[in-house]
Amino acid sequence: MSDKLKIAVIGAGRIGAVHARTIRDHHSAELVLVADPVGDAAARLGAALGVDSTTDVDAALVSGAVDAVVIASPTPQHVPHALAAVGAGKSVLMEKPVALDLAQVDDCIAALGDDADRVMVGFNRRFDPSVAEVHARVQAGDIGAVEQVLIISRDPAPPPSGYLAVSGGIFKDMTIHDLDMARHLIGEVVSVRATGQHLDPEVDDTYDAATLTLTGAGGAVAVIVNSRHSAAGYDQRIEVFGDQGTLEVTNQRSSSVRMHDATGTERSGLFLPFFLERYQRAYAAELDSFVAAALTGAPQSPSIADGRAALALAEAAAESAATGAVISIGQEAIR
Amino acid sequence: MSDKLKIAVIGAGRIGAVHARTIRDHHSAELVLVADPVGDAAARLGAALGVDSTTDVDAALVSGAVDAVVIASPTPQHVPHALAAVGAGKSVLMEKPVALDLAQVDDCIAALGDDADRVMVGFNRRFDPSVAEVHARVQAGDIGAVEQVLIISRDPAPPPSGYLAVSGGIFKDMTIHDLDMARHLIGEVVSVRATGQHLDPEVDDTYDAATLTLTGAGGAVAVIVNSRHSAAGYDQRIEVFGDQGTLEVTNQRSSSVRMHDATGTERSGLFLPFFLERYQRAYAAELDSFVAAALTGAPQSPSIADGRAALALAEAAAESAATGAVISIGQEAIR
Amino acid sequence: MSDKLKIAVIGAGRIGAVHARTIRDHHSAELVLVADPVGDAAARLGAALGVDSTTDVDAALVSGAVDAVVIASPTPQHVPHALAAVGAGKSVLMEKPVALDLAQVDDCIAALGDDADRVMVGFNRRFDPSVAEVHARVQAGDIGAVEQVLIISRDPAPPPSGYLAVSGGIFKDMTIHDLDMARHLIGEVVSVRATGQHLDPEVDDTYDAATLTLTGAGGAVAVIVNSRHSAAGYDQRIEVFGDQGTLEVTNQRSSSVRMHDATGTERSGLFLPFFLERYQRAYAAELDSFVAAALTGAPQSPSIADGRAALALAEAAAESAATGAVISIGQEAIR
Amino acid sequence: MSDKLKIAVIGAGRIGAVHARTIRDHHSAELVLVADPVGDAAARLGAALGVDSTTDVDAALVSGAVDAVVIASPTPQHVPHALAAVGAGKSVLMEKPVALDLAQVDDCIAALGDDADRVMVGFNRRFDPSVAEVHARVQAGDIGAVEQVLIISRDPAPPPSGYLAVSGGIFKDMTIHDLDMARHLIGEVVSVRATGQHLDPEVDDTYDAATLTLTGAGGAVAVIVNSRHSAAGYDQRIEVFGDQGTLEVTNQRSSSVRMHDATGTERSGLFLPFFLERYQRAYAAELDSFVAAALTGAPQSPSIADGRAALALAEAAAESAATGAVISIGQEAIR
């Protein structure tokens, strides 16, 4: 393996473009190929970044010119693409969710066997500098025992109807990030309660807002509050309450300007608009971690088992919201 | 009736003393009597405030020298004391909870009949200037339709074991304020989910922390997060998220000092220690409202029906926490 | 002397009324008389507070029924009123400034001799809980050596023209509080530079804004920024920068409500409107200190020497603003 | 001229490296050469960035392979380097200060003639997104007439003695940025008052802290507070007070984490460590502006006249600090 990790990006959509640019600017990675089967998407992205492009995704996944692939294709292709690339000896960074169906993830894990270590699932928020700082300080004992976690996550505006139709619903599409964050902060979850809301009549989906309560194996509780809209911008907050103190990730803005006048004081700008802006540094740090593990052969993390666990919680949340029941999570299933 | 409302305070404990001092300093009220059957409690408080005192509570409740009574006796006596005073023509400000048993409240409401208008239940937080401002701005439409409410309420430290034994548990004793606040902000509640936690092994009670999700008749959801301890002080926050914006009540401190040094920046003092400090202005505004209604004959609010509704939610929460079920609230029952 | 300090208030204007109410509510003081020679001002205030009133100020100052007087008369009468009261054995709390003319203050100090210990000058801001906390923490060494102090003090709106005509100008009327605060935080001042501004053409005075730089004997510098208007309310901030950290007094509001919407985030309410609201607790703490010293015979502080020192700085500032020169302060003069 | 601006960087020190990296990542610029006469500085930077390097600065300045040069050489060489490059037809981005001696700047301006339009002086803070936002909103009239500007600028720690010896002193080295910012916000300055402090005995310079008051031609006043040390990190704040409101640039941090515990609440991390971190985005935006003007032939801004004006104010400040006099600025001199 060369001293730079040669990477192909599969999928030239919005998130694929984010990864491609991040790879191009990375000191230990080299973007060698962009692949997308649809129209000229790959060609345009490749031209913009000065790298080769192709519509032949299957060839890209197993190309001898690449060491690793980033899978940013549509969700149903995540598993087949990952299996192909891993089978060809590549390291894989796979976007979330792993799949929309838990059985498919189980089959994937079975097929991967020990090679699962070479797969990272793109729970990028773990790599956000503020989240990583809170996690490290929690692990260091700064706030004592973690007792209650509050995760507020609201998108600025609902996605287009076409996207909603294939998204798998709010729990698998949006909450899944918060479910991973809850596991990251309170450990394994043993039960899930969820309440869905349908607030905006123009959103053609079962729910466009939700509230979840997760109980951890150690007794801590995590509350997640989601909405598909937020007037003041992308609302992304975390509070970890421990018996010795509280650590918070607060919202971020594009400037540090405040205004005071006769209509009010301390008025700041809107929250950062959406995930591309809010998690820009997280994508870079995620790539750092992926490249370092790929180059050294260390196991990737978050793993596909983390991806499965979050998906299992999302399915439990959907069931709880539909039935009103508390859903117990089989611990054997999520290990 | 004189131009000042003559008031007796029943119960010379901590909260009785708060009311007595507030009455003494009120421009339209006159503190005429403090009554407590136990030891010299009434005598000491009366002496401190320069008013008469008695151990004969029954006589105080019906005394011809008073227009109104504030009932700050132990919870089991709230109902009999209120019935006696109302029967003697007094206006009554009754501390929460009305009782620990819903049937007793129903009997009380039945016995009061139309005289229930003369009874205020002491949900003092409605009168906090910040809460009142948020409520007024929500009513004025400043944030559009209310969709999600978040109420964080954590006491600084658990009460003594003796108190816990008669408190009725966290839901009736502590959460009841937050349940009233939820109703105040999202309207009638149609279902309750609750999760209890037992965090501090030294607390001799079923739960010392809890998380609730309430669904309102109009589709809004309120989340309540409670704990019996909080390292940084009394944690009292409310967020009302609407489709056009969010209004928050943030924590308060005793000074506006901040410090910046090599260990961190913007460090402020602890949150106000507990309810006496945090809700001092609320007690005064509550008394304002009580006195004004008593002097004009207007119906008191929050009413005993509000007290009953909050208690019904507390009972539902206890059942949900114990069984895991979502508890539906019969709307006929809480009107 | 009785166990409560019997106090007369001289002057029934705005600030006299503040003192009178504070005294009435004080546990160790008794408001016995309100005196004002003009019209029915004293009668109305006395009636409102339930105490005697008189238009005979001279008699009030020496009345055998009082232990202490609060002098809230117009500035030219501060000195004669103080001398009369002290001569009759009273303790005196005198509003600032002591006089508009330094020579008159020197004559007063000479006439008082050792009795000056019985005179407090009303630099109420020293008693503000936030200011007192910063001062105590600075004294305790929390930020190391004090190097730079920044005092921002802006009134919400200019006073009426009639008041301006007799105010002595911005430095003696308004800046004088900040000059005392600078001395309180950096110690004696050895030189003064000042720049005046005339911003609002409707203000009939030499300056309605000013910027001062004071150098302390120990090498610290204090900067004062003043304005007679401030769109967002009464702007009252202090920063003390030391070699180990910074302590700040930030602005205060009447509620802890914040709003986030499409026009901005973290919008809080206006600053407290003016000194009555902002320094309400300071007036109470000032009275505490005055009463305690009067009852025990301890020397009052801030002293008339503090009043003289602030006035000397105000005169130096006026001279500096007029001439552009740095004005040295004779240390012998301000001790 | 090609469609990308070909740029050479002169000087491979800290600030040269910042510019070189920013150019390398710029979509419309191409880094073609790094030049530094000392040792292997250029070679190492060139190798790190994958571009050619040379020790022959004179050749680099006039190389036919470059369209523009960034001058990050030691201050005494700024003028000769700029004249050489401009003489060879290049656009020039010159670090501040232009020179340490005003006469040398005047000679430079005279020698440049109309070619001065091709020279930008690197007052990078104008391009900081928060500063640019405040400037734009001030220009748009959001706060009415600008009346008082407060600029707080404190370095985290003093530079090494070797640097101090050739820095020209605090006013030319450090304050010069704030002087440019004052002109940017209040317009031309007509008088300067300055007070120097020597706080840290280990700093071998006349002053290591200073306070300035500048009066603008239109009557606004700007206050600058400087220090060579700051325990909580790089303290960079601006307040613009207008008759209708205040706009602030507040300090920035590397994360949005806050902590609350028994030692205090709302504790955030330190301010960003120093200018490389705080003004990273400013350097990128500065380059954007430089490249755009160079490619279109528009006049560069901030101009060398801006560089001269800031230097004239720095010299006036030094004189005022030494003599105590107010220094008037000849308006003819700074145009």
Contact A213, B212 (CB under 8 A): no
Contact C176, C311 (CB under 8 A): yes
Give percent of chain D above pLDDT 70: 98
Hey, which residues does B191 pair with through a beta bridge?
A: B215, B328
Q: How high is the pLDDT of residue D334?
A: 42
Average pLDDT over residues C288-304: 98
Q: B: neighbours with 3+ CB pairs under 8 Å?
A: A, C, D
Give percent of chain C above pLDDT 90: 95
Question: Is the Cα dihedral D122, D126, D128, D129 positive or negative?
Answer: negative
Residue C331 — pLDDT band, cuts 50, 70, 90?
low
Q: How high is the pLDDT of residue C25?
A: 86
List the single residue in C197, C213, C229 with the smallest CB-CB distance to D195: C213
Does residue A232 sit at the B interface (CB-CB below 8 Å)?
yes
D245–A251 CB contact, under 8 Å: no
Does residue D265 sit at the B interface (CB-CB below 8 Å)?
yes
Does residue B204 sit at the C interface (CB-CB below 8 Å)?
no
Average pLDDT over residues B43-67: 97
Hey, which residues does B245 pair with through a beta bridge?
A: B242, C261
Per-residue pLDDT tens digits for C56-89: 999 999 999 999 999 999 999 999 999 999 999 9
Distance from CA of residue B46 to its chain's centroid?
Answer: 24
Alpha-carbon gap, residue A174 to B300, rounded angstroms: 46
**Relative orientation angle of helices D304-323 and D102-112, to the nearest 10 degrees:** 160
Residue A331 — pLDDT band, cuts 50, 70, 90?
low
Give percent of chain B above pLDDT 70: 98
Residue A132 — pLDDT band, cuts 50, 70, 90?
very high
Contact D153, D182 (CB under 8 A): no
Backbone angles phi, psi at C18, to 5 degrees: -60, -50
B265–D270 CB contact, under 8 Å: yes
Residue B330 — pLDDT band, cuts 50, 70, 90?
confident
Distance from CA of residue C139 to its chain's centroid?
Answer: 21
Residue A87 — pLDDT band, cuts 50, 70, 90?
very high
Two tokens, residue C224 = 């004062």
Length of chain B: 335
Residue B331 — pLDDT band, cuts 50, 70, 90?
low
Question: Is the Cα dihedral B262, B263, B268, B269 positive or negative?
Answer: negative
Contact D154, D234 (CB under 8 A): yes
Residue among D13, D65, D16, D20 nearest D41 (CA): D13
Per-residue pLDDT tens digits for C255-276: 999 999 999 999 999 999 999 9
Question: Which of A30, A185, A256 is most worth mutating to test chain D (most D CB atoms within 10 A of its CB)?
Answer: A256
- What pTM, to 2 d.p., does this model score? 0.96
What value does the mean pLDDT of chain A take? 96
Longest dimension (CA), chain D: 65
Q: How high is the pLDDT of residue B186?
A: 98
Residue A27 — pLDDT band, cuts 50, 70, 90?
confident
Does residue C249 sit at the B interface (CB-CB below 8 Å)?
yes
Per residue in D153-185, is it b (16+ CB within 10 Å) or e — as a string?
bbbbebeeeeebeebbbbbbbbbbbbbbbbbbb
Where do runs of H (alpha helix) occur along chain D? Answer: 14-24, 41-49, 57-62, 78-87, 102-112, 129-139, 161-166, 170, 176-186, 275-278, 280-296, 304-323, 331-334
Average pLDDT over residues C150-169: 94
Average pLDDT over residues A221-248: 98
- On the question of pLDDT at B332 being above 50, the answer is no
Question: Burial of C288 by CB count in 10 Å (0-12 exposed, 13-18 middle, 19+ buried)?
Answer: middle
Per-residue pLDDT tens digits for D121-171: 999 999 999 999 999 999 999 999 999 999 999 999 999 989 998 899 999
- On the question of pLDDT at A333 being above 50, the answer is no
Alpha-carbon gap, residue C68 to C120, rounded angstroms: 11
What value does the mean pLDDT of chain C take? 96
Q: In 3-state terms, what secondary structure has residue B10?
A: strand
Question: Which of A154, A236, A267, A268 is most worth mutating to test chain C (most C CB atoms within 10 A of its CB)?
Answer: A267
Contact C310, D312 (CB under 8 A): no
**Relative orientation angle of helices B14-24 and B280-296, to the nearest 10 degrees:** 60
Average pLDDT over residues A251-274: 98
List the single residue in A147, A150, A211 with the smallest CB-CB distance to B209: A147
Q: Which helix H or strand E contains A107, and what residues bound it? A: helix A102-112
ipTM over 0.90: yes
CA distances from B189 to B179, B215, B222, B330 (A): 9, 6, 9, 9
Residue D331 — pLDDT band, cuts 50, 70, 90?
low
Q: How high is the pLDDT of residue A3?
A: 82
List the single residue in A133, A251, A258 with the smallest CB-CB distance to D255: A133
Per-residue pLDDT tens digits for B129-147: 999 999 999 999 999 999 9
- On the question of pLDDT at D271 being above 50, the answer is yes
Hey, which residues does D149 pair with through a beta bridge?
A: D222, D240
